[in-house]
Chains A and B, each alone.
Chain A
């Protein structure tokens, strides 16, 4: 998938899946490349279990909107997140889902991100990085290296390697 000037990306899941951190890392990667980027989020008041959405607008031009108006890419990690955001995906947009947790009612791509995180990375918590790797491979919105740099900056100290591993496994999956 290529992109011309602007790409609107929405990541949706439930609180605790690391959706917002994935959004921050993707935004940071775009900033590292000198692209214009806006990253916002929407979440419930509870710290776990509520809906959680991270929005990104990445553009070569100045950005005047603060939220995703029509998503070019929607990544859904939970049925709850999918149901509340599916209308925002534009006609012909790219839907990426965790294939074991989301049953979409439209055309999609994806992989069992949570199971991959558990079985191949060895830590279910890294599902956000697995899914991010997949998304970056599918969209080419930013370079792999920029995301890796952003991961090193943004994840808790001491967890850089496992997060990078998760990202790379997800990226591999996305190139298949």
Chain B
């Protein structure tokens, strides 16, 4: 039986189990509840710090909502189970951290090529390798973009607080369902393990998106064809009498393998890219703070966006014209907007918990026209308002000297 999440019985259960109101919970738990409100009713995973609380919450809550939880033998099996469940019609999710995310890359590539909707949460921790298991980081930005081999599109989202984690997980499901593509949630071990207040909404306040299904047997014959002109093929689910072939090898619109004809591969891979490009405005999301007259622009994401905003507000109080840009969809990266903003600023500062990843994307878009400097911290301790403010102040000081010269 398919569950979308907005059936009257499901709404009744959600209302009863998680009444609208204020809760005090961790980011990991907020991700799990976001998934439940989005209609996720299948979870397969393998526990790993700092993502285990997502699995714990799903294991406890899914059966109450007529959903399924499976603990798999490892991360490779976990994402494989999620892919299978998605083809039966379940909105499906897995969650992991660095080492497990690395193991999932092969099947993530398979899910991308077979246009399988799923949500994969990477609660980033310090790496490489086992690294610092209990510490948060933001080092997987490019792994999220280019983890699987080959040309491929991807959508990745990063949230900035506990409450934001709830809503951004819902958005991850919506985008995944709508565009038939895996969506990554780049969470981190700090927000994942931070508790704060969160408002749980009434389930009717959450928009539920479900994948496009074939409306006729004829449409179902082309599970990888652009039958509606929007580049998004309807998905013929398993168990509904269709004869559907799903393969990670290059395939024609009808799903059958053709790994020899150059045009078939070209057509398929280009459509996958164009599908995301065509709908980019709907997929991309960002926030802007105090940018109207900003001379210094901060670009910060995920856990670092919060102390960045605190630093910007303190900088403003000191009379420094500083603003903040926060990409919420980090892939596809909203570089065009940053390029636009860069025309009016003298300097861009990029605070992040790595040795410089998002900064490379920013530089790619603004070229040499504006100096871009990083505020980088690794080791598992989040950036603080004071640390970022110090950088803003010394930058403002330097530019004052320059203009005095």
Interface residue ranges, B against A (CB under 8 Å) = 22, 24, 49, 133-134, 190-191, 193-197, 303, 306-307, 309-311, 313, 381-382, 384-386
Contact A38 B194 (CB under 8 A): yes
Residue of B at shortest CB range from A35? B197
Contact A43-B307, Cβ < 8 Å, known A27-B24, A64-B385, A69-B386? no
Contact B386 A41 (CB under 8 A): no
Contact A31-B24, Cβ < 8 Å, known A37-B197, A64-B385, A67-B384? yes
Contact B307 A66 (CB under 8 A): yes
Residue of A at shortest CB range from B162? A38
Sample of 16 A–B contacts (CB below 8 Å) = A27-B24, A27-B196, A28-B24, A37-B195, A37-B196, A37-B197, A38-B194, A38-B196, A64-B310, A64-B385, A65-B385, A66-B303, A66-B382, A67-B381, A67-B382, A67-B384
Contact B194 A66 (CB under 8 A): yes
- When distances are taken between beta carbons in the complex, the residues of chain B under 8 Å from A65 are 307, 310, 382, 384-385
Give the distance to chain B from A93, nearest Cβ to Cβ, in Å.
Answer: 17
Give the distance to chain B from A125, nearest Cβ to Cβ, in Å.
Answer: 22
Is A99 positioned at the interface, with any CB of B under 8 Å from its CB?
no
A43 to B133, CA, bound (A): 10
A112 to B22, CA, bound (A): 36
Contact A39 B197 (CB under 8 A): no
Partner of A69, one of B134, B197, B306, B384: B384
Contact A66-B195, Cβ < 8 Å, known A31-B22, A43-B134? no
Task: Known pairs A27-B24, A28-B24, A40-B194; list 4 more (Cβ under 8 Å).
Answer: A38-B196, A42-B134, A64-B311, A65-B384
Contact B385 A24 (CB under 8 A): no
A64 to B310, CA, bound (A): 5
Chain A CB within 10 Å, residue with most, of B197, B303, B307: B197
Provide the main secondary structure of the chain A interface: mixed
Q: In chain A, residues 111-143, which have Cβ atoms closer than 8 Å to a Cβ of chain B?
A: none
- When distances are taken between beta carbons in the complex, the residues of chain A under 8 Å from B310 are 64-65
Provide the main secondary structure of the chain B interface: mixed
- When distances are taken between beta carbons in the complex, the residues of chain B under 8 Å from A31 are 22, 24, 196-197
Give the distance to chain A from B169, nearest Cβ to Cβ, in Å.
Answer: 19
Contact A64-B309, Cβ < 8 Å, known A42-B134, A69-B384? yes
- When distances are taken between beta carbons in the complex, the residues of chain B under 8 Å from A41 are 193
A65 to B382, CA, bound (A): 8
- When distances are taken between beta carbons in the complex, the residues of chain A under 8 Å from B191 are 66
Residue of A at shortest CB range from B306? A64
Chain B CB within 10 Å, residue with most, of A42, A65, A69: A65
Contact A39 B381 (CB under 8 A): no
Give the distance to chain A from B346, nearest Cβ to Cβ, in Å.
Answer: 24
- When distances are taken between beta carbons in the complex, the residues of chain B under 8 Å from A42 are 134
Give the distance to chain A from B351, nearest Cβ to Cβ, in Å.
Answer: 12
A40 to B307, CA, bound (A): 15
A64 to B196, CA, bound (A): 12
A105 to B109, CA, bound (A): 57
Residue of A at shortest CB range from B380? A42
- When distances are taken between beta carbons in the complex, the residues of chain B under 8 Å from A36 are 196-197
A28 to B195, CA, bound (A): 9
A38 to B190, CA, bound (A): 11
Is A49 positioned at the interface, with any CB of B under 8 Å from its CB?
no
A165 to B141, CA, bound (A): 49
Give the distance to chain B from A94, nearest Cβ to Cβ, in Å.
Answer: 22
- When distances are taken between beta carbons in the complex, the residues of chain B under 8 Å from A69 are 384-386
A139 to B374, CA, bound (A): 39
Is A44 positioned at the interface, with any CB of B under 8 Å from its CB?
yes
A64 to B351, CA, bound (A): 14
A67 to B377, CA, bound (A): 14
A102 to B227, CA, bound (A): 72
A24 to B384, CA, bound (A): 22
- When distances are taken between beta carbons in the complex, the residues of chain A under 8 Å from B193 are 40-41
Q: In chain A, residues 24-83, which have Cβ atoms closer than 8 Å to a Cβ of chain B?
A: 24, 27-28, 31, 36-45, 63-67, 69
Give the distance to chain A from B89, nearest Cβ to Cβ, in Å.
Answer: 37
Residue of B at shortest CB range from A67? B382
Contact A45-B386, Cβ < 8 Å, known A40-B193, A40-B194? no
Q: Which 6 A-B pairs have the closest CB atoms?
A: A64-B310, A31-B24, A39-B195, A66-B382, A28-B24, A40-B194
- When distances are taken between beta carbons in the complex, the residues of chain B under 8 Å from A28 are 24
- When distances are taken between beta carbons in the complex, the residues of chain A under 8 Å from B197 are 31, 36-37
- When distances are taken between beta carbons in the complex, the residues of chain B under 8 Å from A64 are 306-307, 309-311, 313, 385
Give the distance to chain B from A102, nearest Cβ to Cβ, in Å.
Answer: 24
- When distances are taken between beta carbons in the complex, the residues of chain B under 8 Å from A45 are 49, 133-134
A14 to B197, CA, bound (A): 27
Residue of B at shortest CB range from A68? B384
Contact B306 A66 (CB under 8 A): yes
Contact B385 A39 (CB under 8 A): no
- When distances are taken between beta carbons in the complex, the residues of chain A under 8 Å from B49 are 45
Give the distance to chain A from B136, nearest Cβ to Cβ, in Å.
Answer: 9
A27 to B198, CA, bound (A): 13
A31 to B197, CA, bound (A): 6
Give the distance to chain A from B305, nearest Cβ to Cβ, in Å.
Answer: 10
A43 to B189, CA, bound (A): 12
